[in-house]
A and B are shown apart, each in its own frame.
Chain A
């Protein structure tokens, strides 16, 4: 068979193709980079870069992009300021022949340094089960969520009565707990503590619904003056001023109601009565005593 130019061309193509099979993987992947699997946020990292000559180094992370020239065969220093945010970072090194190598490492959050703490609601009636929710997000000094489980202590200090605490481990950086309000009104301080970090919030406990309402009546001519005893909830806390108490009178003239707010723990009202009358009192859903008034015609 004669070696025509066409045959030489075909042979050359095969040789070149074979050569590319060996060369291309090297071009595509370059030299292997050895990076640490995980690094703590804000630490310096040193990565050995094999080879010789000049190369371009890229670092691509959650909030950072670095590009600079490096000398192959030396250690590549990644500054602590470049890896403060938790997440995955891609290291790419491209040599002068455009052969690029890449590797990925993870930056994990450092130690807890901040707590983002929510206490809900801001006001709650006393002795109410499962009424208070506390949620704490644990962050490191760079505000990365600390995903490694840590213990969060919720320390509860009521206005009166003994302090107590509940320890809850974080899950995915969050610790939460629910508790009932304590029996006494006043400010309750809840402090979330994790290691040396703490955040305090205050919740106001107010008296619950009135437990019992009792009134007494004083008549003077056709006028009857009504006054309740101090209105308290079932834990003995005074029901807040402004809470409405309803007095209802039934006499010959018919039925009439007076709604009056509690002032300094008691509620007062005055009626004119036509003949015998019956007066009742209520506060919220609580019905109080009834009083018969024998008014004169």
Chain B
């Protein structure tokens, strides 16, 4: 029987996790330690379905991994890691973005100062969870090696996550104007 929790805050405050821990699929080679952004998930008042404790922990962890992979992809122009945490529109759009970065020689470095994630909708059948993310990001845009722009500002995202076989995937990631959700 799943364990439901009414008022919950989940946190992935541990900033260093082995990539191997993030996947149920065993990896044969030892994986390097990666720095994950801090993610605090607030699930207070979530409706219409309450969140299970394990689900909350899993979502916070995989959302942190998703942002790690996104930042890595934008900086290195490598889209290989995106399949691990993104599906659907989110994956397709990020793939296209990285492809266009490669074509133009532009890349982006993201310094992630932590996410405050709030679960706002969890469907009764457990197949979709919508979350609002408030994050402070420093975004540096480079043309080749030349820094052409720096932004250090708060950003807000509306996120749709759906469960897969062994994890929750980011299915939609849409930046929105700051507003109370």
A172 and B123 in contact, given A58-B148, A100-B148, A100-B149 (Cβ under 8 angstroms): no
Whether the pair A62, B143 counts as a contact (CB closer than 8 A) is no
Whether the pair A147, B158 counts as a contact (CB closer than 8 A) is yes
Main secondary structure of the interface of B (DSSP, over half): strand
Residues of B with C-beta under 8 A to A106? 175-177
Whether the pair B123, A176 counts as a contact (CB closer than 8 A) is yes
Whether the pair A90, B141 counts as a contact (CB closer than 8 A) is yes
A174 located at the interface, meaning its Cβ lies under 8 Å from any Cβ of chain B in the complex? yes
B21-55 contacts to A, CB under 8 A, are: 48
Whether the pair A102, B149 counts as a contact (CB closer than 8 A) is yes
Whether the pair B89, A92 counts as a contact (CB closer than 8 A) is no
Residues of B with C-beta under 8 A to A90? 139, 141, 149, 151
How far is it, in angstroms, between the C-alpha of A118 and the C-alpha of B120 when the chains are bound?
18
A172 and B132 in contact, given A64-B96, A178-B48 (Cβ under 8 angstroms): yes
Residues of B with C-beta under 8 A to A62? 93, 97, 173-175
Q: Closest CB-CB distance, B113 to chain A, in whole Å?
A: 17
Q: Closest CB-CB distance, A51 to chain B, in whole Å?
A: 16
A69-106 contacts to B, CB under 8 A, are: 85-88, 90, 92, 94, 98, 100, 102, 104, 106
Partner of A118, one of B89, B92, B127: B127
Residues of A with C-beta under 8 A to B105? 67
Instruction: Convert A132-143 into 0s and 1s, putting 1 for each residue whose CB lies closer than 8 angstroms to a CB of B.
Output: 010101000001
Whether the pair A135, B177 counts as a contact (CB closer than 8 A) is no
A228-273 contacts to B, CB under 8 A, are: none
A49-73 contacts to B, CB under 8 A, are: 56, 58, 60-67
Residues of A with C-beta under 8 A to B151? 90, 102, 104
How far is it, in angstroms, between the C-alpha of A135 and the C-alpha of B174 when the chains are bound?
19
A66 and B104 in contact, given A135-B123, A172-B181 (Cβ under 8 angstroms): yes
For A, the interface residue count at a CB cutoff of 8 angstroms equals 38
Q: How many A-B residue pairs have CB under 8 A?
A: 109
A64 and B100 in contact, given A87-B174, A100-B148 (Cβ under 8 angstroms): yes
Residues of B with C-beta under 8 A to A171? 120-121
A194 located at the interface, meaning its Cβ lies under 8 Å from any Cβ of chain B in the complex? no
Which chain A residue shows the least CB distance to B173? Answer: A62
Residues of B with C-beta under 8 A to A86? 174-176
Which chain B residue shows the least CB distance to A104? Answer: B151
Residues of A with C-beta under 8 A to B177? 106
Residues of B with C-beta under 8 A to A166? none
A140-178 contacts to B, CB under 8 A, are: 143-145, 147, 171-174, 176, 178
A118 and B125 in contact, given A56-B143, A58-B143, A64-B100 (Cβ under 8 angstroms): yes
A121 located at the interface, meaning its Cβ lies under 8 Å from any Cβ of chain B in the complex? yes
Whether the pair B97, A65 counts as a contact (CB closer than 8 A) is yes
Residues of A with C-beta under 8 A to B120? 171-172
Return the 3 tightest CB-CB contacts between A and B, nearest first: A63-B93, A65-B100, A120-B125
Instruction: Pull 7 A–B residue pairs with CB atoms less than 8 Å apart, ordered by A.
Output: A63-B92, A66-B100, A92-B149, A120-B124, A144-B174, A145-B174, A176-B123
**Chain B interfacial positions (CB closer than 8 Å to A):** 48, 89, 92-94, 96-97, 100-101, 103-106, 108, 120-121, 123-125, 127-128, 130, 132, 139, 141, 143, 146, 148-149, 151, 155, 158, 160, 172-177, 181
